[in-house]
């Protein structure tokens, strides 16, 4: 499925369900939890949701509010090694199952998340 078709298939609601399911797990996670700002979990959730909406064919609110994603630069302060990458994907897998998105969207998002999680690694 073309990346830009995902938004048309799942809409705002699909991304909202997915990201909410992911962030419900993050706070209590021993690896990822400490990387997220306790006083801004709602903001972190909103930023990921808006990024995904933009990236997969929806409105460009993310660009309007934050500019170019510059993902590696934005994540540089966080120690992202193999364990953090794997845990992020594990929590996202649980979130994808909970969100129960249509198969074409699920498959495309899983591939994207796997590639980006690897790209974000900045520690051996």
Among the listed residues 28, 30, 31, 19, the one whose alpha carbon sits nearest the alpha carbon of residue 84: 31
> Which domains are assigned to the chain?
3-119 (1.10.490.10)
Give tens-digit pLDDT for 31-59.
999 998 889 999 999 999 999 999 999 99
pTM above 0.85, yes or no: yes
* Sign of the dihedral through C-alpha 18, 20, 26, 32: positive
Q: How far is CA 62 from the centre of its chain?
A: 13
What's the rounded Cα separation, in Å, for the pair 66 and 84?
Answer: 25
Give tens-digit pLDDT for 54-111.
999 999 999 899 988 888 888 888 899 999 999 999 999 999 999 999 999 999 999 9
Residues 6+ apart with CB under 8 A from 78: 35, 84, 122
What's the rounded Cα separation, in Å, for the pair 116 and 21?
Answer: 19
């Amino acid at each position: 499925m073309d990346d830009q078709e995902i938004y048309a298939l799942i809409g705002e609601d699909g991304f909202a369900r997915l990201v909410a399911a992911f962030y419900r797990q993050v706070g209590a996670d021993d690896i990822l939890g400490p990387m997220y700002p306790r006083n801004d979990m709602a903001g972190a959730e909103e930023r990921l949701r808006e990024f995904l909406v933009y990236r997969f064919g929806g409105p460009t609110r993310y660009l309007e509010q934050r500019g170019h994603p510059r993902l590696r630069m934005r994540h540089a302060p966080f120690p992202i090694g193999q364990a953090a990458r794997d845990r992020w994907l594990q929590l996202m897998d649980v979130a994808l199952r909970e969100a129960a998105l249509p198969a074409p969207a699920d498959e495309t998002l899983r591939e994207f998340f796997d590639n980006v999680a690897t790209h974000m690694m900045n520690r051996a």
